A and B are shown apart, each in its own frame.
Chain A
Amino acid sequence: MSAPNNSYDPVEVTPLHPDEVAQMLDAALAAIAAADSLEALKEAKAAHAGDRSPLALANREIGALPPAARAEAGKRVGGARKRVGQALKDRQAELEEERDRRALTEEAVDVTLPTGRAPRGARHPITTVAERMTDIFVAMGFEVAEGPEVEAEWYNFDALNFLPDHPARTMQDTFFVQAPSGGESGQVLRTHTSPVQVRALLARELPVYVVAPGTTFRTDELDATHTPVFHQLEGLVVDEGITMAHLRGAIDAFVESMFGGGLKTRFRASYFPFTEPSAEVDMECFVCRGASVGDPDRPCRTCSSEGWIEIGGCGVVNPRVLTAAGVDTDRYSGWAFGLGIERTLMFAHGVEDMHDMVEGDIRFTSAFGMEI
């Protein structure tokens, strides 16, 4: 603060005259309004609100007034300075917003440009479908059992009640392993995941509730519906008081989880040496729900207008198998099923040709991503 200026007439100080103050205020407001950039506003601020601005100088004169006049003059100048300050602040905000708007507009990009720089990968849908099928049973309390792909004939056939010369043994189109000498090795590429039943029963404490997903082999040439290397999910339950009703319950739970609720299932009597009674399992076609049967105007490609889709085989574990696995057949009984993983994938996701599943074309695999 500067000291009182004794050279002035303390009564009549021109800068504090109301007209003068009003003029200073008008000039300041006009300059602020006219500032069209933040730089111009900075200049206007220095000129009209800075230390050397008319209003600041006028403010200094207040002390020179007689005490009676000071209050009014102070109010007048202070009010003007406050209005200038507010105007500056408002204009500052306006100009900043305008500057930002302009800058962000200039920074705009084409957000539709491709963005995938990181390489993308995918798991094979057979793997992910197998995991999903497995997990449905794991959620019911089942564990996952495993066995080798090159398997002893004893596990693949004999222990499963395939008698040595029974036609069922030749029906399976088996790949046989040659012994180093060229003779018989007693080994095959497993024709089904069922040998895991015997391995699981031999290795585990009863009761046993397991599923076994795995690769299986038969001497079929690759075509649209066959492949020599395919995948099954085996299921096995051995416990006290187990019946076919529990088998049906497990299959129904699987169908509901995998394909949706409200689908009927059907058991058809069949034959497998390792189950007795045996059944093939069909589920109602989840596309047409049977509406295509006998209606040539509404053909269904999913079920070939049969109304039913075969999903696997099952049955009550033949007590002879339990015997070969050391299970007390008076106390325990069980059931087993084998579900086709390829079939499940074909139906659940509309895969039409087996070639797509075996050729490893990345266009096919990448469509399925990480999980299914």
Chain B
Amino acid sequence: MRVPLSWLREYTDLPEGTSARSLAARLIEAGLEVETVESVGAGITGPLVAGRVLEIEELTGFKKPIRFCRVDVGAANGTGEPQGIVCGARNFAEGDLVVVALPGAELPGGFAIGARTTYGRMSEGMICSASELELWEDHAGIIVLDPGTAEPGADAFGFLPLREDVLDIAVTPDRGYALSVRGVARDAAALYGTAFRDPAEAVDVTAAAGGGHPVELDPELCPRFVLRTARGFDPAAPTPVWMKRRLALCGVRPVSLAVDITNYVMMELGQPLHAWDGERLQGALRVRAGRKGESLETIDHVKRNLDPDDIVIADDRGPVGIGGVMGGADTEVGEDTRHVVIEAGHFDEARIARTSRRHQLSSEASRRFERGVDAALQLRAATRAAGLLAELGGAHVEPGYTEAGPGTEPGPVALDAAHPGRVAGVDYPRAAVVHRLEQVGCAVRADGDALTVTPPSWRPDLTDPNDLAEEVVRLEGYANIPSVTPRAPAGRGLTPSQRTRRAVGRALAASGHDEVLCYPFVGERDLEGLQIEAGDPRRTCVRLANPLNEDEPLLRTTLLPGLLKTLVRNVGRGMPDVALYETGPVYLPREGAPERAPLPGVDRAPTAEEREALDAALPDQPLRAATVLAGRREPAGWWGQGREASWADAVESAREVARAARVELVVRAARYAPWHPGRCAALYAVTGGGEVLVGYAGELHPRVVKAYGLPPRTVAMEIGLDPLLEASAPPAAPRVSSYPVAIQDVALVVGQDVPAGQVESALRSGAGELLEDVRLFDVFTGEQVGEGRKSLAYTLRLRAGDRTLTAEEAAAVRDAAVAAAAERTGAVLRG
């Protein structure tokens, strides 16, 4: 809502010297968010005067018709002689009163006026248009002032509202009343403690209803509907300068007098109005629900199919308007309208909101109805508009009028006078509470501290004690609320799961991965690029109804697409060595989930069953961690060549995650998209209940590398965090033995296909408790070990907790380990 300050000042006398900025600051604290304070016309400096066109000479021979005018500017030019001015506009005649910028004047945008030769004549100034003076948008020509506005030579600042401060207020949804100058002025008056003169009260509505245009009303849709008729309106009557100017300052384009009046009254009082051409209406106006198959072309020339949920205004022929949103094109006032019917309705808020959304049609009217319009204002607003039609357009207002519907009365709210103070933590005297509530228009009946508060018709938002508390607190000033540190009971800190998640992130970062936070939006192409087959569960995604990007309407079922694209972006920006990680949820639709999440009531807590049903509808959203690596894992430098990232780094990143979560990880070969079939590890967490598959790691399939444009041999890992967090146990202290170590090296020859992990686990189980650590230090293939075989060399670190191991004992452990390896993997001790 744009509020010109001079308009606001008509309804309350702000203290002397109150600047627009200081008013804005007060309003902001009180909940009217003034986004800007605009000084319109600040860029205009004189001399700018009234002039009478004495003589017009048409210049020919130019691309467009040009006039050379002799203009009487009185004594303003210092000579008293007529001023010669070249002008391109044609909407004026000799004798007209115009606005002249004399040499030395400056117009908005730093446009300096001087005397110069143009079109072969000396032009000493400019005849101004409304746009050039930032008065209102008008490209039809220059301003022709009403006769008698001023004498030639009179300073234009004296008779034109050239400079104006305008507050632009972003009105919150609860404060519909502030979508009018009336409403903002009332708050300003309350904040400054000045008297408020209600412009609605100034309208005379003493005459009894009856005799107006006939109406049939569904009061469910529209509790109050008023029609007032003005006949004999002069459709050619111009809108006066002051009204055009105010509308322009409010951001409304002047159209024609009848339309401008409805807009003006809406800005003034907050009641949306519609002006019908009475000649074009046939029979009674019916306010009813829309019917299937009905349609209407609205005044914006869009044909709209109406819905049974729309509020329709219809005459004998059918719909002529969408109530509270927009009128029909056929029945709107036009260039020949002499019979104007002004409509002021109070439409059902929720229906207007739905209609506005359904038709994607947000109008000045619908915005106000959605936020709540003064329920008692309709007759006053229609009467005010009809009066203006008479005053400015020569119409006469019919004394009879239509006022239909029961109206709505705000219900009283019981309020403990101490409640606002309890909410704010400030001790407000009862008198202050009552005073503030009365300032916003409430009627307050006090019985001791028990207040019965009846909100005014323009505050449908005031329904609960806390609503009333807010009014008291904001007018008393939020600045008065003291700062008291809350004293929470002793908290338990982060949960083990929360701590472990932080540890996982730190472990991945500490091992050289950079964290990224990718958008979760993906498209089919991303999943195809990962070579995930059509039937794979990862192709079943949560779909957005309104994605930002039509190519990415799905939510991720794997963290990899975002990470891989981010990797490509980094490589593209000249950083070829990249190791990234992300931790976050994936979104997996649940099989058998209900089509729609339930909507329990809100007048009580949902039952346990209802809560279960709510959660059952939601997709599973397990947490994952994933890494992608390309380029060098260790940099080249003066120390050597560095090292390319390989499948092993991907597996190691999984081990980092598992270590941070204190879960043992078992690795096995696997084939799984998007990984290279020969370089893919399945990751199993060792839990109390056995081994659980938690993820995969390895080198990406070459087709994935190609699809995503990745560097060759890019590697990746993705692991589920939830099972790790579940399996995570507090660390158990080891018994650190100080007895001497016994080292045994063994080299085992096994088949080429035997996984090293299997040999190691056999060694471990064979060696038993005396084995402290086992380390694979060499893998060798070659003639010496035979075709299709490989040699694995291990160091076994043995130690006992209670004695020094003898050579015999150490050898026995080694032999047992080797025997287990031989039995399980066919390993042969290498001579």
By a beta-carbon cutoff of 8 Å, the part of chain A in contact with chain B is 113-114, 116-124, 126-127, 131, 138, 140-144, 148-155, 158-159, 161, 163-168, 170-171, 175-181, 183-187, 189, 202, 207, 209, 215, 219, 221, 228-229, 237, 242-250, 252-253, 265-271, 276-280, 316, 318-320, 323-326, 333, 357-363, 365-366, 370
Interface residues of B in 466-510 (CB under 8 A from A): 466-467, 469-470, 473-474, 478-479, 481-495, 498, 502, 505-506, 508-510
Contact present for B488 and A142 (CB under 8 Å): yes
Query: Which single member of A171, A185, A267 contacts B596 (CB below 8 Å)?
Result: A185
Among B569, B597, B615, B635, which residue has its beta carbon within 8 angstroms of that of A360?
B569
Is the beta-carbon distance between A151 and B618 smaller than 8 angstroms?
yes
In the A-B complex, the 6 residue pairs with the smallest Cβ-Cβ separation, listed nearest first, are A326-B605, A119-B512, A245-B425, A269-B31, A243-B425, A141-B488
Q: Shortest Cβ distance from A231 into chain B, in angstroms?
A: 8
Closest beta carbon of chain B to A162's beta carbon, Å: 10
B579 touches A127 (CB 8 A): no
Q: How far is the CA of A243 from the CA of B423 in the complex (A)?
A: 5
What's the nearest-Cβ distance from chain B to residue A241, in Å? 8
Instruction: Check A149/B617 contact, CB under 8 A, given A122-B509, A154-B599, A186-B596.
Output: no
The contact of B508 among A121, A138, A165, A278, by CB within 8 Å, is A121
Chain B residues with a Cβ under 8 A of chain A: 28-31, 33, 172-175, 349-351, 353-354, 357, 367, 370-371, 422-426, 464-467, 469-470, 473-474, 478-479, 481-495, 498, 502, 505-506, 508-520, 542-548, 555, 566, 569-570, 573, 575, 577-581, 584-585, 587, 589, 595-600, 602-606, 611, 614-615, 617-619, 621, 633-635, 637-639
Query: In the bound complex, do residue A176 and residue B545 qualify as a contact, i.e. CB atoms below 8 Å apart?
Result: yes
**Distance in Å from the Cβ of A277 to the closest Cβ of chain B?**
4
List the A residue with the shortest CB-CB distance to B608. Answer: A202
* Interchain CA distance A246-B604 in the complex, whole Å: 27
Contact: A359 with B569, CB < 8 Å?
Answer: yes
Please determine whether B633 and A119 come into contact, CB atoms closer than 8 angstroms: yes
Known contacts A153-B599, A180-B589, A248-B481: A268-B29 contact under CB 8 Å:
yes
Q: A166-B353, A185-B596, A271-B172 are in contact. Are A119 and B634 (CB under 8 A)?
A: yes
Tell whether A152 pairs with B614 under 8 Å between CB atoms, given A185-B595, A237-B488, A267-B481. yes
Partner of A266, one of B367, B479, B491, B544: B479
Contact of A141 among B353, B426, B489, B511 (CB under 8 A): B489
> A148: which B residues are within 8 A, CB to CB?
585, 618, 621
Query: A120–B635 Cα gap in the complex (Å)?
Result: 10
B423 to chain A: closest residue by CB: A316
Q: Which chain A residue lies CB-closest to B175?
A: A271
**In the bound complex, do residue A269 and residue B29 qualify as a contact, i.e. CB atoms below 8 Å apart?**
yes
Q: Which residues of B contact A242 (CB under 8 A)?
A: 486
- Cα–Cα distance between A53 and B618 once the two chains are bound (Å): 101
Which residue in chain A gives the minimum CB-CB distance to B473? Answer: A277
Distance in Å from the Cβ of B175 to the closest Cβ of chain A?
7
How far is it, in angstroms, between the C-alpha of A361 and the C-alpha of B573 when the chains are bound? 9
| Structural contact, A245 and B483, CB atoms closer than 8 A | yes
State A298–B569 Cα separation when bound (angstroms): 39
In the complex, are the beta carbons of B514 and A245 less than 8 A apart? Answer: no
CB distance from B724 to the nearest CB of A (A): 17
Known contacts A150-B555, A150-B621, A245-B483; A277/B515 CB under 8 A: no
Q: Given A120-B512, A144-B495, A320–B482 Cβ distance below 8 Å?
A: no
Given A141-B488, A141-B491, A154-B606, 14 other A-B residues pairs in contact with their CB atoms under 8 A: A123-B505, A153-B597, A170-B357, A175-B547, A207-B488, A244-B473, A252-B483, A266-B478, A266-B479, A320-B464, A323-B603, A324-B602, A360-B518, A365-B515
Residue of B nearest to A114 (CB): B637
Assess the B464–A121 pair: CB atoms within 8 A. Answer: no
Q: How many A-B residue pairs have CB under 8 A?
A: 308
B545 near A121: Cβ-Cβ < 8 Å: no
Chain B: CB-nearest residue to A187: B597
Q: In the complex, what's the smallest C-beta–C-beta distance from A259 to chain B, in angstroms?
A: 15
8 Å CB contact of B484 from A126, A249, A316: A249
Q: Knowing A141-B490, A144-B494, A360-B569 are in contact, say whether A121-B604 is a contact too (CB < 8 A).
A: no
From B173, B511, B513, B617, contact of A187 by CB (8 A): B617
CB distance from A108 to the nearest CB of B (A): 16
Cβ-defined contact, A362 with B546, below 8 A = no
In the assembly, what is the distance between CA of A324 and CA of B491, in Å? 25
- A280's nearest neighbour on chain B, judged by CB, is B33
Closest-CB distance, A326 to chain B (whole angstroms): 3
Distance from A370 Cβ to chain B, minimum over Cβ atoms (Å): 6
Q: CA A326 – CA B543 in complex, angstroms?
A: 32
Inter-chain CA distance A316–B424, complex, in Å, is: 9
Give CA–CA (A276, B492) in the complex, Å.
30
Checking A119, A144, A181 against B498 with a beta-carbon cut-off of 8 angstroms, the contacting residue is A144
Across-interface contacts of A253 in B (CB, < 8 A) = 485
Query: Complex: how many Å from CA A363 to CA B566?
Result: 12
B618 touches A248 (CB 8 A): no
**In the complex, which residue of chain B has the Cβ closest to the Cβ of A371?**
B506
Least CB distance from B570 to A in Å reads 5
Most buried by B among A154, A207, A221, A357: A154
